[in-house]
């Protein structure tokens, strides 16, 4: 499990190379090591198609329909605990990310909260208090692995932050590609105040976003920052008026959803893997990603739509 975080980063390359869409994905096979229960999809003919996991009521997976088809919402729904991540919610997150990774119709993911004024309060410390050190170690490793699966999803992910995003809640947001917050958002990694460190990727993802010095100050002190400060330091992409984060995130998701889905996935792979390489290797990776787009139907559709002065109709082929 310790090696999972490194291994999971290769999943983006894998999922774009799958030749058999009916074959279980690599992330599905791996993450089943952390969850023995399977999920059941229950389809409802409503404006939104709701996919409910069988093992958790704390996480809901909504696929938007009509013009927003292709946009998926992961909703955190544990109001009694301010969306604190316990074993049940962790299981729900694992299975939800598995479902998304296997779904070829998904183009963009938004992670939202159904609980007013809170995104996620972090780990469930009441539950944590009942665990022995071995159980805590297993739980934190599983949480780290789950966020690595989220980070390695082929498609773009957007964290929609209204209110508090603390500890593991912020670490989940850091695992997304984009972060949108309201002005009243409160973000922090307060773990050192509990004599621990951010153990689900926070010590690694935060400095990659804001730089080592800023990350050290925030982690050493556990200082809480607001939405505007988060934007000024590059922690979030947009800070909008309180209550408007979902609307802004949906606007961005809709924009992305209109683009060629294979191109978006290739762009994500080129960026994520390229930043870890020297320039020559990164440019070779970019060439490889571009070559995989040359023979797609979407590329030809884009050229045709441009010539005909109309919006392209991409199929992901």
User: Which residues are known catalytic residues?
Assistant: 123, 168, 171, 191
Nearest to 53, CA basis, from 94, 3, 106, 1: 94
58 to 53, 88, 96, 230, 295: CA distances (angstroms): 9, 7, 11, 27, 42
Crossing angle of helices 261-274 and 297-307, rounded to 10°: 120
What's the angle, vertex CA 10, arms to CA 5 and CA 16, rounded to 5?
A: 140
11 to 14, 149, 214: CA distances (angstroms): 5, 8, 29
By residue count, the chain amounts to 317
Q: Express the helix, strand and coil content of the chain in percent, nearest 5 each.
A: 50, 15, 35
Cα–Cα distance measured from residue 31 to residue 151, given in angstroms and rounded to the nearest whole number: 14
CB 158 within 8 A of CB 250: no
Nearest to 27, CA basis, from 75, 76, 95: 95
* Cα R_g (the chain), whole angstroms: 19
Cα–Cα distance measured from residue 208 to residue 174, given in angstroms and rounded to the nearest whole number: 10
């Amino acid at each position: 499990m310790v090696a999972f975080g490194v291994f999971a980063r290769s999943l983006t390359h894998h999922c774009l190379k799958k030749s058999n869409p009916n074959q279980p994905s690599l992330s599905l096979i791996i993450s089943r090591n952390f969850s023995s229960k399977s999920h059941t999809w229950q389809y409802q003919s409503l404006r939104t198609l709701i996919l409910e996991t069988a093992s958790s009521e704390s996480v809901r997976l909504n696929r938007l329909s009509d013009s927003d088809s292709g946009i998926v919402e992961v909703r955190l729904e544990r109001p009694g605990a301010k969306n604190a991540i316990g074993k049940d919610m962790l299981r729900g997150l694992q299975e939800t990310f598995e479902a998304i990774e296997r779904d070829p119709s998904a183009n963009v993911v938004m992670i939202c909260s159904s609980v007013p004024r809170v995104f996620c309060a972090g780990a469930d410390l009441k539950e944590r208090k009942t665990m022995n050190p071995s159980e805590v170690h297993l739980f934190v490793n599983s949480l780290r692995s789950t966020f690595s699966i989220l980070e390695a999803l082929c498609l773009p992910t957007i964290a929609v932050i209204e209110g508090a995003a603390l500890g593991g809640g912020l670490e989940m947001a850091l695992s997304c590609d984009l972060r949108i917050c309201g002005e009243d958002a409160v973000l922090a990694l307060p773990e050192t105040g509990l004599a621990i460190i951010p153990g689900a990727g926070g010590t690694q993802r935060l400095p990659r976003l804001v730089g080592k010095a800023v990350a050290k100050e925030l982690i050493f002190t556990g200082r809480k920052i607001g939405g505007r400060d988060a934007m000024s330091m590059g922690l979030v992409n947009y800070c909008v008026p309180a209550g408007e984060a979902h609307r802004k995130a949906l606007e961005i998701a809709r924009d992305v959803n209109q683009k060629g889905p294979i191109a978006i996935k290739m762009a994500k792979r080129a960026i994520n893997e390229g930043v870890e390489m020297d320039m020559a290797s990164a440019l070779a990776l970019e060439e490889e990603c571009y070559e995989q787009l040359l023979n797609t139907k979407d590329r030809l559709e884009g050229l045709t739509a441009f010539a005909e002065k109309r919006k392209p109709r991409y199929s992901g082929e």
